[in-house]
Amino acid sequence: MSVPSYPPRQLYYDGKTQPATSGKTFPSIDPSTGRVIGEIHEASTADIDAAIASAERAFPAWSQTPPIARARILQKAAQLLRERNDEIAATETHDTGKAFSETSVVDVATGADVLEYFANLVGGGGLNGETTQLREDAWVYTKKAPLGVALWKSAPCLAAGNTMVYKPSEFTSLHGETLAKIYTEAGLPPGVFNVVHGAGDVGAYLTSHPSVAKVSFTGQVSTGKKVASTAAGDMKYVTMELGGKSPLIILPDVDLDMAVDGAMMANFYSTGQVCTNGTRVFIPKSLKSEFEKRLVEKMQYVRPGPVMDPATNFGPLVSKVHYDKVTGYIRHGIEQDRATLLYGGLDKPKVPKDLEGGFWVQPTIFTDCTDDMRIVREEIFGPVMSILTYDTVDEAVRRANATELGLAAGVFTRDLNQAHRIIDQLQAGITWVNSWGESPAEMSVGGWKQSGVGVENGRRGIEMWVRNKSTLVDMSGSVATAFAKL
C-alpha cells in the first residue's frame, strides 16, 4: 500500500496561509499505519495574536454585511464542499483513521448540510428580532447582534455575523487549511475565518485571550470544565459539548434484530469515538441470552481493514495516546472489573501486514456488567460495549440516570406511548427512539448535567452565537415621572 503524503499545513489568517513564526512543527500520523504523512505548523503566541487581530479587523464589516449576503457565501462554500466530497473525505480518512465508507457519506456531507441550514436560516430572516406594542404610542423591539471573535463551530458562528479563530485537534489537523481555502474561494472576506494549530497550550491561550468573545468546545468533561472556567472568568459566552456515558434501553417487546443493529451502531460506528455512544446497553434478563447470541453473530459484519477499501467499515483509533487509553480500559474490564468478555479483547484485529503498526483495537463486548464497574461508569470513547440486565423498566430508567453525565439516551420498543414516557424520564439532552446517532442540522442538541452547556444546530443553535439587545421606544410626548410638583 502506498503511503499518503501531504504538504505541510500552515496557519491561516488575513485570508491566506501563513508560516508559523515558532519554527516548530508536529507530525500528522495516519492512524491506520502509524506512519507520518505530513507536518503541521505549530502556532506561537505571536501567531495566535496575529490571527485574532485579523479576526478583529474583519468583524465590523462582516457583522454589518446583510444576512442574505452572508448566506450566499456560505451556500457557495457548501456547494464547494459537496463538489470536492471524495477528495476531502480521503484526507479525513488518512487524518482520523475513519473508514472512507464513513467519511465519504457522513463527514463532509453533514458539514455541508449544517452550513446550508444556517445559511438558509439567516438568509430567510432567522436573525430577525421581535416587536411588541406596549401601548398605543410605545413599542419594544429586540435585535440579535453578533458577539465578535469566536472559537470553533464555523457554520452558525459565521452565519450570525461573527468572525472566527479555529484550532483543530492536534491529532486531526489536516482539514483546517482546506476548509479555510474553501471559505475564501466562496467569497468569505480575509480575516473572517482563521486557523491556528497546536496542542492544549494553544487552546488555553485562545480561551483566555481578552479579544475572544465566545468559546465553543467539544471534548472530554475535565478539559471542558477548565475551558469553561477560564472563559467564565472573563464573562465570555460559552457552548460546551462534553462527554457521555449514554444508556440504551431495550424493552421486552422489542424487535431483537433491530435492537442489535441499534446497539452496534451506538457502540462501534466511528470505532466508538463518538461522544453520544450508547455504551451502557440495558437488556431485560429474559432477553439476555438471545440478544447476546444475535449480537455475536452480527459481529462478523464489523470489517476492519484498509481504510480506503469501500468494504471496510471499522477503522483504527485516532492516536497512540488514545489507543493506550482504550486498551487500558479493556484490560481493567477483564482484570479488575472481572466482567465477562463476550467478544473482542486486547488482541489486535487481523489486518494486512502494512497496517499492523496502526492503532487498531477489536470491537469489544463485556456482559454480566454491574453499575459500579469502571468500564460502566467512565467514558471510554472507544468501541467497548457494556451489557447490563434489568428486571423492571422503572429499575432500568433509575439506573440509566445514575450518572453525572447526561448527553444522550435512547429506547428501543414497539410501544410508542411507553417510549415517550421513558424518554421523558431520561436525564439527557439528546434522545432517540428506535434509532441511534442521527443528528441532523435541524435538530438542536446539547448535554445535560456534566455533559455540556448550551445547544448546537437547529433554530436554537443560532441563539448561541448572538447577543440580545432590547429597546423600548416611547413617542407619547411626555415622560411619566415620580418627581412632579405636588
Within 8 A by CB and 6+ apart from 270, the residues are 98, 102, 315
CA distance 161 to 193: 11
The CATH code of the domain at 247-433 is 3.40.309.10
Helix axes 200-208, 221-233, angle to 10 degrees: 30
431 in Cβ contact with 419 (< 8 Å): no
In angstroms, how far is the first alpha carbon of the chain from the final one? 94
Amino acid occupying residue 199: A
Residue with cell 440580545: 468
CA-to-CA distance for 447 and 455, rounded, in angstroms? 8
Distance (Å, whole) CA 409 – CA 400: 8
The CATH classification of domain 11-243+451-470, taken from the options 3.90.780.10, 1.10.630.10, 3.40.605.10, 3.50.50.60: 3.40.605.10
Catalytic, out of 92, 102, 170, 241: 241
Cα atoms in the Cβ-side hemisphere of radius 13 Å centred on 123: 14
- Containing 64, the helix (H) or strand (E) segment is helix 45-64
Q: Taking Cα atoms as reference points, which of 427, 431, 360, 353 lies closest to residue 397?
A: 427
Span(s) in the chain for CATH 3.40.309.10 = 247-433
Residues in the chain: 486
pLDDT in tens, the chain (486 residues): 567 899 999 999 999 999 999 999 999 999 999 999 999 999 999 999 999 999 999 999 999 999 999 999 999 999 999 999 999 999 999 999 999 999 999 999 999 999 999 999 999 999 999 999 999 999 999 999 999 999 878 999 999 999 999 999 999 999 999 999 999 999 999 999 999 999 999 999 999 999 999 999 888 899 899 989 888 888 999 999 999 999 999 999 999 999 999 999 999 999 999 999 999 999 999 999 999 999 999 999 999 999 999 999 999 999 999 999 999 999 999 999 999 999 999 999 999 999 999 999 999 999 999 999 999 999 999 999 999 999 999 999 999 999 999 999 999 999 999 999 999 999 999 999 999 999 999 999 999 999 999 999 999 999 999 999 999 999 999 998 999 888
Query: Which cell goes with 107?
Result: 463527514
Helix (H) or strand (E) holding 467: strand 466-474
Active site residue 241: yes
CATH 3.40.605.10 spans which residues of the chain?
11-243+451-470
Q: Residue 203: which residues within 8 A CB-CB, separation 6 or more?
A: 167, 227
Distance CA 433, CA 425 (A): 13
Bridge-based pairing of strands 364-367 and 138-146 is unpaired
For residue 212, which phi and psi values (nearest 5 degrees)?
Answer: -90, 125
